[in-house]
Amino acid sequence: MELLERFATGDLEAFETLFRGHQKHVYAWIVRIVRDSGIAEDLTVETFWRIYRSRARFDPAGNFPAWARRIATNAALDHLRKSRRETDLPEDLACPAKADPAVQRETRQRIRQAFSQLPAKYRLVATLALLEDEPYEKIAAATGISVALVKVRVFRAVRALRKKLLSMGVEISRET
């Protein structure tokens, strides 16, 4: 019997093989959304728990990595919903070389604060589309919505962010 068929029937060894084969990809996807390695590890385990729990619904002929990514995205979205009230985002994983020193520390702080206050569904697509430069098609597949809706959410996220930043006194010049 094939690995995915054995997994779908509840074979723990098959699940372990899938876990070991895909944990890195799932983690890498989640950490780019939540931007915290510890939380990403917890969410990776949570994702695989959800995968194991819904194994009976998985079609062995289907695309396991795509299915796992979608479940991982939902787990990350649930986390963003819970953590929305926290006002700051960790920056330990961000590349410091890419941060422009011209943008003042306080301004960066305000931008992070405004971004973290966005509704979770907007924050998710904005993180993937604007920060991580993921293609809309990939985001749509991972979130289970249409490409058009991804574009709408990105647009709304940008509009909300712009409004929030202006109210905080952050100037958005076209030369930045």
Partner 1 sequence: MNQQDHQALQTLLKQALAPVTDTELVRDLWPEMLRKLDRQAARVPWFDWTLVALLCVVLLLFPRAIPALLYHL
Minimum CB distance to partner 1, residue 64 (Å) = 16
Residue 156 binds partner 1 (CB under 8 A): no
Residue 159 binds partner 1 (CB under 8 A): yes
Cα–Cα distances in Å, from 95 out to 57, 77, 98, 131?
39, 23, 6, 12
Give the chain's end-to-end CA distance (angstroms, integer): 57
Minimum CB distance to partner 1, residue 57 (Å) = 17
Task: Please report, as residue ranges, which positions from 49 to 78 form the binding site for partner 1 (by CB under 8 A).
Answer: 49, 52
Task: Burial-class residue 146 by CB neighbours within 10 Å (0-12, 13-18, 19+).
Answer: exposed
- Assigned token pair, 106: 């306080």
Among 5, 13, 16, 59, binds partner 1 (CB under 8 A): 16
Alpha carbons 82 and 127: distance in angstroms, whole number: 17
Nearer to partner 1, 4 or 128 (CB): 128
- Assigned token pair, 50: 């959800």
Minimum CB distance to partner 1, residue 166 (Å) = 11
Among 56, 61, 167, 174, binds partner 1 (CB under 8 A): 174
What is the gyration radius of the CA atoms in the chain, in angstroms? 18
Minimum CB distance to partner 1, residue 116 (Å) = 10
Instruction: Classify the C-alpha dihedral 106-110-116-122 as positive or negative.
Output: negative
Minimum CB distance to partner 1, residue 97 (Å) = 8
Residue 168 binds partner 1 (CB under 8 A): no
Among 111, 124, 139, 142, binds partner 1 (CB under 8 A): 111
